[in-house]
Homo-oligomer: A and B are copies of this chain.
Amino acid sequence: DEELERAAFLKIVRAMRDYASDAAREVHRWERNYERLPENHRALLSHHVAKHDDAYRCVKRNDDFFKEMLSSFTGDDVPPHLRVPPPGEMAHEPVAPSDAVKVLYVLKNLARDWSAEAADERLQSHGPILAELERRLKAVPGRPPPRVMVPGAGLGRLVLECARRGWESEGNEYSYYMLLTSSFILNHATKAEQFTIHPWMHTNNNHLSDANQLRGVKVPDVPACDAGVPPGCMGMCAGDFVEVYGAAENAGRWDAVATCFFIDTAHNVIEYLEIISRCLKPGAVWVNFGPLLYHWADADGYLSADEMSVEMSLEDVERVADAVGLDVVKKEMRESKYTGDKMSMCQTVYECAF
């Protein structure tokens, strides 16, 4: 089991190490297509020659970011199972296209969680969650601060936002792509806009201009160390949500659970709702925001196996929530973007345990 974990970790390290060659392959394709054009068409797009060079430079800068990130996990202070081996010590295995895509997704998530330009996008989803939590969680002097759990924490921005409001916040995340990156950005970014990445360069689709496509995005807008988080108020917990929070010691331990684009990642959303309900103290609140784009619904298709996947409508989610002891006390529908993609349905459901 530990060996499998380590293999999964190394697969992700490999995908991040191979980022530059995977991304450059796409720019090669642009060049190849440019070369195939008749001469009069090439003349109309002669500025694309410079665009391709710029794109290779963007790939290089993204690659520099991944290199710096991975090198921060090489020291003796890093737990052995998370230690990144030197490139020479890793067997070379090809990176699956589905893994290469996830590396690009890391860049988009960095922009979403940690850039100034995505502040509006975060306001759409984090905004209502934080506003509702602020209404319901009151710190009482002399008592420990309210405890908030954030499953599917991704790159940790929502956890930080909870912590800077004085709540003791714990993020949970399963993906090593996210865990490595959130650990790096939370612990190794010491000044604002320390890193420049180019998350939007990898496709030619739907750009207003080449400059737009190749633009650099600076992260983080605020380094975690400057965010005014009280000491000990923020933590990230690696692992599978069901395993970690299904355990008895988490029962009745939380004043709030905040799920943002999370519940549709379940194999069995009923199990998620049961665990959330069990984790909450009496009268505690679950705040949910996100679509119902069930992650495992396509397992027959692009995913590898016929994995268990229970999918249900929003009406059913509410019915099940009620049955497992979560009362729906507030419900609104709102639109929200996520890493620039629009979702076809987004909802805010505020529910409360009794």
Contacts and interface: CB of A to CB of B under 8 A. Distances in A.
Interface stretch (A64-72, A155-163, A208-216, A250-258): A208-216
Interface in A82-133: 97
Nearest to A205: B293
B316 A33 contact: no
Contacts of A80: none
Given A36-B308, A97-B301, A308-B33, A314 B270 contact: no
A268 B41 contact: yes
Contacts of A294: 204-205
Contacts of A34: 310
A296 to B, nearest CB: 9
A342 interface: yes
Interface in A332-352: 340-345
Contacts of A26: 300
A320 interface: yes
Contacts of A50: none
A44 interface: yes
B340 A342 contact: no
A178 to B, nearest CB: 22
B207 A320 contact: no
Contacts of A341: 344
A292 B29 contact: no
Interface of A: 25-26, 29-30, 32-34, 36-37, 41, 44-45, 48, 97, 203-210, 212-213, 264, 268, 270-271, 291-294, 297, 300-301, 306, 308-316, 319-320, 323, 340-345
